[in-house]
Amino acid sequence: MSLLLRGGLLVTQDPARRVVPGDVLVEEGRIAAVGHVEATADETLDCSGCAVLPGFINTHHHVANTLLRGVADDVPLEEMLEKAFAIDAKLTRRDVQVGALLGCIEMIRSGTTSFHDLFYWEDEVARAVRESGMRGFLSWVTLDAAFTTQRGDPVKNAEQFVGKHRGDPRVVPSVGVQGVYVASEETYAAAADVATRLGVRLHTHLSETRPEVYRHLEKTGLRPVEWLEKIGFLSERLTAAHGVWLTLREVRTLARHGVSVAHCPVSNMKLASGGVAPVPEMLQEGVVVSLGTDSPISNNGMDMFSDMKVAALLHKATRWDARVVPAQAALDMATIRAAEALGVARDLGSIEVGKRADLAVVSFRGAHTTPFYPANLISHLVYSCRGSDVRTTIVDGQVLMAEGVLRTVDEAEIVGRAQETARELFEA
Ligand SMILES: [Zn+2]
Protein backbone atom coordinates (compact mmCIF):
# COMPACT_ATOMS: atom_id res chain seq x y z
CA MET A 1 0.00 0.00 0.00
CA SER A 2 1.47 3.36 -1.01
CA LEU A 3 0.32 6.92 -0.44
CA LEU A 4 1.39 10.20 -2.01
CA LEU A 5 0.93 13.60 -0.37
CA ARG A 6 1.18 15.99 -3.30
CA GLY A 7 2.18 19.65 -3.33
CA GLY A 8 2.34 20.79 0.29
CA LEU A 9 4.77 22.85 2.34
CA LEU A 10 6.70 20.23 4.25
CA VAL A 11 7.57 21.22 7.81
CA THR A 12 10.15 18.48 8.11
CA GLN A 13 11.38 19.09 11.68
CA ASP A 14 14.62 17.46 10.50
CA PRO A 15 17.91 18.48 12.21
CA ALA A 16 18.11 21.64 10.02
CA ARG A 17 14.37 22.35 10.58
CA ARG A 18 13.93 22.68 6.83
CA VAL A 19 10.62 23.76 5.35
CA VAL A 20 10.45 22.65 1.73
CA PRO A 21 7.70 22.70 -0.89
CA GLY A 22 7.00 19.26 -2.29
CA ASP A 23 5.59 15.79 -1.87
CA VAL A 24 5.84 12.91 0.58
CA LEU A 25 5.76 9.35 -0.68
CA VAL A 26 4.74 6.67 1.84
CA GLU A 27 5.34 2.97 1.26
CA GLU A 28 4.46 0.17 3.68
CA GLY A 29 3.87 2.67 6.50
CA ARG A 30 7.22 4.42 6.15
CA ILE A 31 8.31 7.66 4.48
CA ALA A 32 9.97 6.59 1.22
CA ALA A 33 10.71 9.97 -0.40
CA VAL A 34 10.51 13.66 0.53
CA GLY A 35 10.65 16.57 -1.95
CA HIS A 36 9.89 16.32 -5.64
CA VAL A 37 8.42 12.86 -6.21
CA GLU A 38 7.80 11.50 -9.74
CA ALA A 39 6.26 8.21 -8.61
CA THR A 40 2.55 7.48 -8.43
CA ALA A 41 0.81 5.72 -5.54
CA ASP A 42 -2.31 3.76 -4.65
CA GLU A 43 -3.82 6.90 -3.14
CA THR A 44 -2.88 10.54 -3.75
CA LEU A 45 -3.88 13.40 -1.43
CA ASP A 46 -3.78 16.97 -2.72
CA CYS A 47 -1.95 19.12 -0.14
CA SER A 48 -1.89 22.45 -1.97
CA GLY A 49 -2.44 25.41 0.36
CA CYS A 50 -1.50 23.15 3.27
CA ALA A 51 1.46 22.45 5.52
CA VAL A 52 2.44 18.83 6.08
CA LEU A 53 3.75 18.22 9.61
CA PRO A 54 4.97 15.27 11.57
CA GLY A 55 1.88 14.32 13.62
CA PHE A 56 1.84 15.76 17.14
CA ILE A 57 2.92 13.59 20.07
CA ASN A 58 1.03 14.49 23.25
CA THR A 59 3.34 13.29 26.02
CA HIS A 60 1.04 13.46 29.03
CA HIS A 61 -2.60 12.48 28.87
CA HIS A 62 -5.39 10.60 30.65
CA VAL A 63 -7.57 10.02 27.62
CA ALA A 64 -10.32 8.00 29.32
CA ASN A 65 -11.12 11.13 31.34
CA THR A 66 -12.52 12.73 28.20
CA LEU A 67 -15.85 11.52 29.56
CA LEU A 68 -15.28 13.70 32.64
CA ARG A 69 -14.68 16.93 30.71
CA GLY A 70 -16.29 19.82 32.52
CA VAL A 71 -17.08 18.03 35.79
CA ALA A 72 -14.65 19.98 37.96
CA ASP A 73 -13.90 23.41 36.51
CA ASP A 74 -12.65 26.42 38.47
CA VAL A 75 -11.53 24.38 41.50
CA PRO A 76 -8.00 23.55 42.73
CA LEU A 77 -6.28 20.20 42.08
CA GLU A 78 -7.26 18.60 45.41
CA GLU A 79 -10.96 19.35 44.85
CA MET A 80 -10.72 18.29 41.22
CA LEU A 81 -9.18 14.95 42.20
CA GLU A 82 -11.85 14.38 44.84
CA LYS A 83 -14.63 14.89 42.27
CA ALA A 84 -12.77 12.82 39.66
CA PHE A 85 -12.13 9.93 42.07
CA ALA A 86 -15.80 9.82 43.08
CA ILE A 87 -16.86 9.39 39.44
CA ASP A 88 -13.87 7.15 38.74
CA ALA A 89 -15.13 4.64 41.29
CA LYS A 90 -18.36 4.30 39.25
CA LEU A 91 -16.67 3.82 35.86
CA THR A 92 -17.03 0.53 34.07
CA ARG A 93 -14.63 -0.86 31.48
CA ARG A 94 -17.13 0.10 28.80
CA ASP A 95 -17.20 3.72 30.02
CA VAL A 96 -13.40 3.85 29.88
CA GLN A 97 -13.43 2.59 26.33
CA VAL A 98 -16.06 5.12 25.19
CA GLY A 99 -14.14 7.97 26.83
CA ALA A 100 -10.89 6.85 25.22
CA LEU A 101 -12.49 6.56 21.77
CA LEU A 102 -14.01 10.01 22.10
CA GLY A 103 -10.55 11.38 22.98
CA CYS A 104 -8.93 9.55 20.06
CA ILE A 105 -11.40 11.20 17.66
CA GLU A 106 -10.63 14.62 19.09
CA MET A 107 -6.89 13.97 18.72
CA ILE A 108 -7.14 12.69 15.16
CA ARG A 109 -9.23 15.76 14.29
CA SER A 110 -6.51 18.08 15.61
CA GLY A 111 -3.46 16.36 14.14
CA THR A 112 -2.21 14.31 17.07
CA THR A 113 -0.96 10.90 15.98
CA SER A 114 0.57 9.60 19.25
CA PHE A 115 -0.22 10.10 22.91
CA HIS A 116 1.43 9.07 26.17
CA ASP A 117 -1.28 8.00 28.59
CA LEU A 118 -1.30 7.34 32.33
CA PHE A 119 -4.26 5.35 33.68
CA TYR A 120 -5.49 2.00 34.94
CA TRP A 121 -7.48 -0.21 32.58
CA GLU A 122 -5.06 0.71 29.83
CA ASP A 123 -6.16 -2.46 28.05
CA GLU A 124 -9.46 -0.66 27.31
CA VAL A 125 -7.52 2.38 26.10
CA ALA A 126 -5.44 0.01 23.93
CA ARG A 127 -8.67 -1.23 22.35
CA ALA A 128 -9.66 2.36 21.49
CA VAL A 129 -6.17 3.04 20.10
CA ARG A 130 -6.40 0.04 17.79
CA GLU A 131 -9.95 0.81 16.71
CA SER A 132 -9.18 4.45 15.90
CA GLY A 133 -5.79 3.68 14.31
CA MET A 134 -3.78 6.00 16.54
CA ARG A 135 -0.46 5.22 18.20
CA GLY A 136 -0.64 4.93 21.98
CA PHE A 137 2.22 4.94 24.47
CA LEU A 138 0.19 3.56 27.33
CA SER A 139 1.43 3.52 30.93
CA TRP A 140 -0.50 1.41 33.41
CA VAL A 141 -0.49 3.50 36.59
CA THR A 142 0.74 2.01 39.87
CA LEU A 143 0.32 3.38 43.40
CA ASP A 144 0.13 2.04 46.94
CA ALA A 145 -2.65 -0.49 47.58
CA ALA A 146 -4.08 1.84 50.26
CA PHE A 147 -4.96 4.49 47.65
CA THR A 148 -6.05 2.55 44.62
CA THR A 149 -9.46 1.84 43.11
CA GLN A 150 -7.89 -0.89 40.92
CA ARG A 151 -8.84 -4.48 41.42
CA GLY A 152 -5.78 -6.52 42.33
CA ASP A 153 -2.23 -5.33 42.86
CA PRO A 154 -1.45 -2.31 40.62
CA VAL A 155 2.15 -3.44 39.99
CA LYS A 156 1.04 -6.92 38.96
CA ASN A 157 -1.65 -5.38 36.74
CA ALA A 158 1.00 -3.19 35.09
CA GLU A 159 3.29 -6.14 34.55
CA GLN A 160 0.48 -8.16 33.00
CA PHE A 161 -0.49 -5.29 30.71
CA VAL A 162 3.09 -4.79 29.52
CA GLY A 163 3.55 -8.52 28.96
CA LYS A 164 0.40 -8.66 26.84
CA HIS A 165 1.15 -5.74 24.50
CA ARG A 166 4.96 -5.63 24.30
CA GLY A 167 6.26 -5.58 20.72
CA ASP A 168 3.13 -3.96 19.20
CA PRO A 169 4.09 -0.86 17.14
CA ARG A 170 0.72 0.90 17.68
CA VAL A 171 0.28 0.12 21.38
CA VAL A 172 3.56 0.65 23.22
CA PRO A 173 3.06 -0.39 26.85
CA SER A 174 4.95 1.04 29.83
CA VAL A 175 4.74 1.34 33.60
CA GLY A 176 3.40 4.43 35.37
CA VAL A 177 3.56 5.68 38.95
CA GLN A 178 0.92 8.21 40.07
CA GLY A 179 3.24 10.36 42.21
CA VAL A 180 5.11 10.62 45.51
CA TYR A 181 1.89 11.54 47.36
CA VAL A 182 0.38 8.07 46.84
CA ALA A 183 3.39 5.84 46.12
CA SER A 184 5.96 4.54 48.61
CA GLU A 185 9.59 3.69 47.95
CA GLU A 186 8.50 0.03 47.60
CA THR A 187 5.96 0.90 44.89
CA TYR A 188 8.50 3.01 42.96
CA ALA A 189 11.07 0.23 43.23
CA ALA A 190 8.60 -2.45 42.11
CA ALA A 191 7.49 -0.33 39.13
CA ALA A 192 11.11 0.33 38.09
CA ASP A 193 11.88 -3.36 38.47
CA VAL A 194 9.06 -4.35 36.07
CA ALA A 195 10.15 -1.68 33.55
CA THR A 196 13.80 -2.79 33.65
CA ARG A 197 13.01 -6.48 33.47
CA LEU A 198 10.60 -6.08 30.55
CA GLY A 199 12.60 -3.34 28.81
CA VAL A 200 9.87 -0.67 28.79
CA ARG A 201 9.62 2.97 29.87
CA LEU A 202 8.40 4.72 33.03
CA HIS A 203 5.95 7.61 33.37
CA THR A 204 5.12 9.60 36.51
CA HIS A 205 3.70 12.87 37.82
CA LEU A 206 6.43 14.96 39.44
CA SER A 207 6.44 18.15 41.52
CA GLU A 208 3.15 19.46 40.17
CA THR A 209 2.10 21.53 43.19
CA ARG A 210 3.73 23.23 46.12
CA PRO A 211 1.91 21.14 48.79
CA GLU A 212 3.15 17.96 47.06
CA VAL A 213 6.76 19.15 47.32
CA TYR A 214 6.61 20.50 50.86
CA ARG A 215 4.68 17.55 52.30
CA HIS A 216 7.28 15.23 50.83
CA LEU A 217 10.08 17.37 52.21
CA GLU A 218 8.46 17.20 55.66
CA LYS A 219 7.96 13.44 55.43
CA THR A 220 11.35 12.43 54.04
CA GLY A 221 13.67 15.42 54.46
CA LEU A 222 14.09 15.50 50.68
CA ARG A 223 12.36 17.20 47.76
CA PRO A 224 10.70 14.76 45.32
CA VAL A 225 13.52 14.86 42.72
CA GLU A 226 16.19 14.42 45.43
CA TRP A 227 14.22 11.53 46.92
CA LEU A 228 13.67 9.82 43.56
CA GLU A 229 17.39 10.15 42.85
CA LYS A 230 18.22 8.63 46.22
CA ILE A 231 15.98 5.61 45.66
CA GLY A 232 17.44 5.14 42.17
CA PHE A 233 14.29 5.89 40.16
CA LEU A 234 15.72 8.56 37.85
CA SER A 235 16.91 7.32 34.47
CA GLU A 236 16.61 7.80 30.72
CA ARG A 237 13.62 5.48 30.88
CA LEU A 238 11.58 8.08 32.74
CA THR A 239 9.24 10.80 31.46
CA ALA A 240 8.04 13.04 34.29
CA ALA A 241 4.93 15.16 33.82
CA HIS A 242 4.74 18.77 35.11
CA GLY A 243 8.01 19.60 36.91
CA VAL A 244 6.53 22.92 38.05
CA TRP A 245 8.09 23.17 41.52
CA LEU A 246 11.74 22.44 40.75
CA THR A 247 14.92 24.13 41.97
CA LEU A 248 17.78 24.71 39.54
CA ARG A 249 19.63 21.91 41.31
CA GLU A 250 16.73 19.54 40.65
CA VAL A 251 16.64 20.61 36.98
CA ARG A 252 20.34 19.71 36.76
CA THR A 253 19.69 16.38 38.47
CA LEU A 254 17.00 15.54 35.90
CA ALA A 255 19.38 16.52 33.07
CA ARG A 256 22.18 14.40 34.55
CA HIS A 257 19.96 11.32 34.66
CA GLY A 258 18.42 11.91 31.21
CA VAL A 259 14.86 12.25 32.57
CA SER A 260 12.52 13.97 30.08
CA VAL A 261 9.84 16.40 31.24
CA ALA A 262 6.32 16.64 29.80
CA HIS A 263 5.41 20.29 30.25
CA CYS A 264 1.65 20.79 30.78
CA PRO A 265 1.13 24.57 30.77
CA VAL A 266 -2.66 24.67 30.28
CA SER A 267 -3.37 22.16 33.04
CA ASN A 268 -0.96 23.90 35.42
CA MET A 269 -2.57 27.28 34.77
CA LYS A 270 -6.14 26.01 35.05
CA LEU A 271 -5.48 24.22 38.36
CA ALA A 272 -3.54 27.25 39.60
CA SER A 273 -0.57 25.08 40.46
CA GLY A 274 1.13 28.42 41.08
CA GLY A 275 4.54 29.26 39.84
CA VAL A 276 5.63 28.28 36.34
CA ALA A 277 7.67 25.25 35.30
CA PRO A 278 11.28 26.44 34.77
CA VAL A 279 11.25 25.47 31.10
CA PRO A 280 13.94 27.98 29.96
CA GLU A 281 16.30 26.52 32.58
CA MET A 282 15.39 22.96 31.59
CA LEU A 283 16.23 23.74 27.96
CA GLN A 284 19.45 25.46 28.96
CA GLU A 285 20.54 22.52 31.13
CA GLY A 286 19.77 20.00 28.40
CA VAL A 287 16.55 18.42 29.70
CA VAL A 288 14.40 17.10 26.84
CA VAL A 289 11.12 19.03 27.22
CA SER A 290 7.95 17.94 25.43
CA LEU A 291 4.30 19.01 25.73
CA GLY A 292 1.35 17.33 27.36
CA THR A 293 -2.28 18.40 27.54
CA ASP A 294 -2.86 16.39 30.73
CA SER A 295 -6.38 15.29 31.63
CA PRO A 296 -9.43 16.62 29.79
CA ILE A 297 -10.72 17.50 33.28
CA SER A 298 -7.94 20.06 33.68
CA ASN A 299 -7.42 21.33 30.13
CA ASN A 300 -10.32 20.77 28.88
CA GLY A 301 -9.29 19.70 25.41
CA MET A 302 -6.39 18.04 23.69
CA ASP A 303 -5.68 20.41 20.83
CA MET A 304 -1.88 20.61 20.69
CA PHE A 305 -2.03 23.88 18.71
CA SER A 306 -3.59 25.52 21.72
CA ASP A 307 -1.03 24.04 24.12
CA MET A 308 1.89 25.09 21.90
CA LYS A 309 0.60 28.65 21.92
CA VAL A 310 0.06 28.72 25.66
CA ALA A 311 3.53 27.23 26.26
CA ALA A 312 5.12 29.97 24.18
CA LEU A 313 3.06 32.76 25.79
CA LEU A 314 3.31 31.61 29.41
CA HIS A 315 7.10 31.85 29.53
CA LYS A 316 7.24 35.15 27.63
CA ALA A 317 4.67 36.66 30.00
CA THR A 318 6.39 35.53 33.18
CA ARG A 319 9.98 36.21 32.08
CA TRP A 320 9.22 39.59 30.49
CA ASP A 321 11.10 38.31 27.46
CA ALA A 322 9.39 37.93 24.07
CA ARG A 323 12.29 35.85 22.76
CA VAL A 324 11.94 33.04 25.28
CA VAL A 325 10.28 29.79 24.00
CA PRO A 326 10.01 30.95 20.35
CA ALA A 327 7.48 29.32 18.00
CA GLN A 328 10.05 26.85 16.68
CA ALA A 329 10.82 25.65 20.23
CA ALA A 330 7.11 25.14 20.95
CA LEU A 331 6.67 23.17 17.72
CA ASP A 332 9.75 21.10 18.60
CA MET A 333 8.21 20.21 21.98
CA ALA A 334 5.11 18.88 20.22
CA THR A 335 7.01 16.85 17.62
CA ILE A 336 10.70 15.89 17.52
CA ARG A 337 11.45 16.59 21.21
CA ALA A 338 8.42 14.51 22.17
CA ALA A 339 9.77 11.62 20.09
CA GLU A 340 13.14 12.01 21.84
CA ALA A 341 11.38 12.15 25.21
CA LEU A 342 9.74 8.78 24.57
CA GLY A 343 12.91 7.27 23.09
CA VAL A 344 11.38 6.86 19.60
CA ALA A 345 13.10 9.62 17.60
CA ARG A 346 14.50 7.00 15.23
CA ASP A 347 10.96 6.36 14.01
CA LEU A 348 8.84 9.41 14.83
CA GLY A 349 8.86 13.19 15.27
CA SER A 350 10.03 14.41 11.86
CA ILE A 351 9.44 13.95 8.14
CA GLU A 352 12.55 12.08 7.03
CA VAL A 353 13.04 9.12 4.75
CA GLY A 354 12.84 5.86 6.69
CA LYS A 355 10.68 7.14 9.54
CA ARG A 356 7.13 5.94 10.21
CA ALA A 357 4.57 7.97 8.26
CA ASP A 358 2.73 9.71 11.11
CA LEU A 359 1.61 12.98 9.49
CA ALA A 360 -0.86 15.84 9.76
CA VAL A 361 -1.99 18.06 6.88
CA VAL A 362 -2.94 21.57 8.02
CA SER A 363 -4.84 24.02 5.84
CA PHE A 364 -3.69 27.63 5.61
CA ARG A 365 -6.75 28.77 3.67
CA GLY A 366 -8.74 30.09 6.65
CA ALA A 367 -9.31 33.80 7.25
CA HIS A 368 -7.46 33.46 10.57
CA THR A 369 -4.31 32.10 8.87
CA THR A 370 -4.25 34.67 6.04
CA PRO A 371 -1.89 36.10 4.91
CA PHE A 372 0.54 33.25 5.03
CA TYR A 373 3.87 32.75 3.29
CA PRO A 374 6.79 30.41 3.93
CA ALA A 375 8.56 32.94 6.20
CA ASN A 376 5.76 33.01 8.78
CA LEU A 377 4.73 29.37 8.47
CA ILE A 378 6.17 28.18 11.82
CA SER A 379 4.83 31.11 13.81
CA HIS A 380 1.41 30.72 12.11
CA LEU A 381 1.36 27.08 13.22
CA VAL A 382 1.92 28.09 16.83
CA TYR A 383 0.09 31.42 17.08
CA SER A 384 -2.71 31.30 14.49
CA CYS A 385 -3.68 27.73 13.66
CA ARG A 386 -6.28 25.62 15.46
CA GLY A 387 -6.96 21.94 15.59
CA SER A 388 -9.88 22.45 13.22
CA ASP A 389 -7.43 23.50 10.48
CA VAL A 390 -6.22 19.89 10.26
CA ARG A 391 -7.60 18.31 7.11
CA THR A 392 -5.91 14.93 7.09
CA THR A 393 -4.24 12.73 9.71
CA ILE A 394 -2.11 9.69 8.95
CA VAL A 395 -0.56 7.06 11.24
CA ASP A 396 1.85 4.45 9.94
CA GLY A 397 0.77 5.35 6.41
CA GLN A 398 -2.89 4.66 7.24
CA VAL A 399 -5.21 7.59 6.54
CA LEU A 400 -7.31 8.00 9.69
CA MET A 401 -8.99 11.20 8.50
CA ALA A 402 -9.08 12.64 4.98
CA GLU A 403 -10.49 16.08 4.16
CA GLY A 404 -12.09 16.23 7.58
CA VAL A 405 -13.84 12.86 7.42
CA LEU A 406 -12.81 10.07 9.78
CA ARG A 407 -12.24 6.75 8.08
CA THR A 408 -11.54 4.39 10.95
CA VAL A 409 -14.46 4.98 13.30
CA ASP A 410 -18.05 6.18 13.10
CA GLU A 411 -17.64 9.59 14.69
CA ALA A 412 -21.33 10.46 15.09
CA GLU A 413 -22.07 7.11 16.68
CA ILE A 414 -19.24 7.44 19.23
CA VAL A 415 -20.06 11.05 20.11
CA GLY A 416 -23.67 10.00 20.66
CA ARG A 417 -22.65 7.02 22.77
CA ALA A 418 -20.30 9.19 24.88
CA GLN A 419 -23.05 11.73 25.53
CA GLU A 420 -25.44 8.95 26.56
CA THR A 421 -22.82 7.30 28.82
CA ALA A 422 -22.04 10.62 30.51
CA ARG A 423 -25.73 11.24 31.10
CA GLU A 424 -26.05 7.87 32.83
CA LEU A 425 -22.98 8.58 34.97
CA PHE A 426 -23.80 12.11 36.06
CA GLU A 427 -27.56 12.14 36.23
CA ALA A 428 -27.76 8.97 38.28
ZN1 LIG B 1 -1.60 13.92 34.75
Q: Render each residue's pLDDT in the chain as its tens digit; 428 residues.
A: 899 999 999 999 999 999 999 999 999 999 999 999 999 999 999 999 999 999 999 999 999 999 999 988 999 888 888 888 888 888 899 999 999 999 999 999 999 999 999 999 999 999 999 999 999 999 999 999 988 888 899 999 999 999 999 988 899 999 999 999 999 999 999 999 999 999 999 999 999 999 999 999 999 999 999 999 999 999 999 999 999 999 999 999 999 999 999 999 999 999 988 889 999 999 999 999 999 999 999 999 999 999 999 999 999 999 999 999 999 999 999 999 999 999 999 999 999 999 999 999 999 999 999 999 888 999 999 999 999 999 999 999 999 999 999 999 999 999 999 999 999 888 75
* 261 bridge partner residues: 240, 289
**Cα of 10 from ligand 1 centre, angstroms:** 32
Calculate the CA 213 to chain-centre distance.
24
**Cα of 321 from ligand 1 centre, angstroms:** 28
**Cα of 212 from ligand 1 centre, angstroms:** 14
**Cα of 249 from ligand 1 centre, angstroms:** 24
**Cα of 324 from ligand 1 centre, angstroms:** 25
**Cα of 241 from ligand 1 centre, angstroms:** 7
Cβ atoms within 10 Å, residue 226: 17
**Cα of 414 from ligand 1 centre, angstroms:** 24
**Cα of 13 from ligand 1 centre, angstroms:** 27
Architecture in CATH of 56-341: Alpha-Beta Barrel (3.20)
The pLDDT, as a whole number, for residue 150 is 83
The pLDDT, as a whole number, for residue 155 is 96
Q: Which residues of 113-143 are buried (b: 16+ CB within 10 A; e: fewer)?
A: bbbbbbbbbbbbbbbbbeebbbbbbbbbbbb
**Cα of 401 from ligand 1 centre, angstroms:** 27
2-54+355-406, CATH topology level:
Urease, subunit C; domain 1 (2.30.40)
**Cα of 367 from ligand 1 centre, angstroms:** 35
**Cα of 202 from ligand 1 centre, angstroms:** 14
**Cα of 295 from ligand 1 centre, angstroms:** 6
**Cα of 95 from ligand 1 centre, angstroms:** 19
**Cα of 240 from ligand 1 centre, angstroms:** 10
**Cα of 80 from ligand 1 centre, angstroms:** 12
The pLDDT, as a whole number, for residue 363 is 98
**Cα of 293 from ligand 1 centre, angstroms:** 9
Domain boundaries, the chain: 2-54+355-406, 56-341
**Cα of 265 from ligand 1 centre, angstroms:** 12
What global pTM score does this model have?
A: 0.97
**Cα of 271 from ligand 1 centre, angstroms:** 12
Number of residues in the chain: 428
Same topology between domain 2-54+355-406 and domain 56-341 = no
**Cα of 302 from ligand 1 centre, angstroms:** 13
The pLDDT, as a whole number, for residue 428 is 59
**Cα of 266 from ligand 1 centre, angstroms:** 12
**Cα of 112 from ligand 1 centre, angstroms:** 18
**Cα of 242 from ligand 1 centre, angstroms:** 8
**Cα of 28 from ligand 1 centre, angstroms:** 35
Q: List phi, psi (to 5°) of 6.
A: -105, 125
Distance from C-alpha of 221 to C-alpha of 225, rounded to nearest angstrom: 12
**Cα of 179 from ligand 1 centre, angstroms:** 10
The pLDDT, as a whole number, for residue 374 is 87
